[in-house]
Structure 1
Amino acid sequence: MTTTPLTAPPTVAAYLDRIGVAPGPPDGALLARIVRAHLATIPFENLDPFTHTEPPVDGAGVAAKLVHGRRGGWCFEHNLLLHDVLKDLGYRVTPLLGRVRLGLDDDAPATVRTHRLTLVETGEGAVLADVGFGGTVPPAPMRLVEGIVQPTAHADYRFVRDGAGAWVLQRRGSAGWLAQYVVDLAPVPDADYAMGSWYLVHHPDSGFRNGLTAAYTADDHRATLDGNRYTVRRPDGRTERRELGSPAQVRGVLEDAFGIDTGAITGLEDRIRAAHFG
């Protein structure tokens, strides 16, 4: 494994400064710090697809939005950014695509491969790093080991294998183990990510197109916004819920609680009103 470059590329330096992490050797400890800080700093949000705007699908466009701008994004943006930064820091990385299973029964038909994440090789073994799965994202890199429970501050996770040999990430909730997504380890070309992004922006049944969502994960809480419902969950089980009464209040929470600059998003309050106050 290589060592961290003495002078990091400008985007990497700006990213590490944005999330408040000092560079170091590309090992498991640095990766865990990066994932933890990224999730607490750069929010998950779908304001571009929600307002029918094409989000960036290239590294420069994503960095301009998530690193240099005060915005968040969805998995295609978060995990592209993470992939590129980790590669520049000296990690061996492989981009992957998974099928989301959250909220589905085990026997539900296969879903489209629309969740981006990254396989990372560290000195401690292979892990999956994911900073783009919203309110139930694993808050740490997950070791790619079958059947081992991996505790985090917010939930326990584990990998199992399905009948085809793919890896299934599960999270333990009040109803037991629930599948988050299914992923194989085949590398995916950039064209497939662009197609997945386009599909979720334009398909009439896409939840990202039809409803507003935002989330971030800090050490002591997770915050989520689902339409006009704002929720904060604590690791000890305490939950605070608030229903927002107007599009202006929703916009205010996006700005104040999630740190999102909404000033350049044309027609946002009208879109919120149509989708969640109609």
Structure 2
Amino acid sequence: MTETTTATRATEAPEAPDTPPAPQLDLDAYLSRIGWSGERRPSATALRALTFAHATSIPFENLDPLLGSAPSLALPDLEAKLVHGRRGGYCYEHNTLLTAALRDFGFTVTGLTARVRVGARGALRPRTHMLLLVHVPGEARPYVADVGFGSIGALLEAVPLVADTEFHDGPRRHRFVREPHPGLEDLWVLQAFLEGAWEDQYAFTREPYEHPDYEVINWHVATNPRSPFHHTLFAQRSTADRHLALVGRTLTETYHDGTRKQRELADEAKVLAVLTADFGIEPPEGVQLPR
């Protein structure tokens, strides 16, 4: 009896150590940051309103990669930076933060990646953009949510993943088209209607990506010397009446009626002043921007 008991115990797996609980988002603080106070339930109406509020409240910026470091994607760090601090971020930061908020509401969220086509001119780029596929309880079709693209062609609110149907998200117009692809499904291509024509923004499939995947892509995009985010300042902000884009020292204001203003900022002091006053971004202490 003793030998049998001893042998049995020897083959039993040791008890797993206690795993710390996953960090929780301060949902009240997040909703205050984006100025949203609607009913907290996972509906299509709430999803559209949440994504619009986020996209028009928290700016896009790449100051951390510009200063030589990959931004942390840990939820406490994202909360400290984007919610409690006067900072923005780029796609991995925005959409990771949004994922936590949507799951708190009760949505099912799947992370995806896309190949950006804006400015590609036919070149095949790697999948480096993060977006979200969101399932609303009781609805058969999923939605695409993306608050981290930043550009004038970005989604301002979540839209259903349906091909060849035009959507109006705020003042913007979007649609998805399908393209042949040798993988398990054809590509979904997000297009924006800009200056009288449909323009590709990015292309993706519905293959799920997980947090470790984004950690690797985030590090590559932030630190690779060939990455534009590593050597050029990008800041973007969408408001009720216009879209602001700062690339290097070139500031472009595009209004919803299509009119545009562009000017060159004189020096680093002016760039820092514009980041603070117009974009709502408080640059890190002692930051020095590249020329």
- Report matched runs for 1:53-92 at 5 Å: 53-92=69-108
Distance 2:25 2:146 in 1: 23
Q: Give the alignment partner of residue 144 of structure 1, picking from 149, 161, 168.
A: 161
**Which of residues 269, 275, 287 is equivalent to 1:248?**
269
Alpha-carbon separation, structure 2, partners of 1:193 and 1:204: 19
RMSD: 1.5
8 Å contact 1:40–1:216 — kept in the other structure? yes
Partners of 2:83 and 2:161 in 1: CA distance: 29
Q: Give the letter for the 1:146 counterpart.
A: A
Shift of 1:217: 1.1
Q: Write the distance in 1 (CA, Å) between the matches of 2:177 and 2:259.
A: 29
Alignment check: 8 A CA contact 1:16 1:23 kept: no
Deviation at 1:174, TM superposition (A): 2.7
TM-score w.r.t. length of structure 2: 0.85
Q: Deviations over 1:69-93 (max 9, x none)?
A: 1110000000000011100111111
Query: For 2:290, what is the secondary structure of its paired residue?
Result: helix
Higher Cα radius of gyration: 2
Cα distance, 1:53 vs. partner?
A: 2.1
Equivalent residue number for residue 272 of structure 1: 290
Identity of aligned residues (%): 38
Q: Deviations over 1:214-255 (max 9, x none)?
A: 111122111111111111111111212221101000000000
Aligned to 2:14: none
Structure 1 counterpart of 2:26: 11
DSSP 3-state at the match of 1:70: coil
Q: TM-score, normalised by structure 1?
A: 0.89
Offset from partner CA, 1:26-79 (integer Å, 9 cap, x none): 111111111111112110000000111220122221111101111100000000
Matched residue SS, 2:109: strand
Q: How does 1:93-112 map to 2 (within 5 A)?
A: 93-105=109-121, 107-109=122-124, 111-112=125-126
Q: Secondary structure at the match of 2:114?
A: strand
Deviates more, 1:148-157 or 1:252-261: 148-157
Which of the numbers 123, 131, 146 marks the counterpart of 1:130? 146
Q: How far apart are the structure 2 equivalents of 1:237 and 1:174?
A: 7
Q: Distance in 2 between matches of 1:85 and 1:213?
A: 25
Is residue 2:286 matched to residue 1:259? no
Shift of 1:155: 3.0
User: Is this contact kept in 2: 1:157–1:172, CA < 8 A?
Assistant: yes
Q: Find the counterpart in structure 1 of residue 129 from structure 2.
A: 115
In the alignment, which residue of structure 1 is the partner of 2:10? none
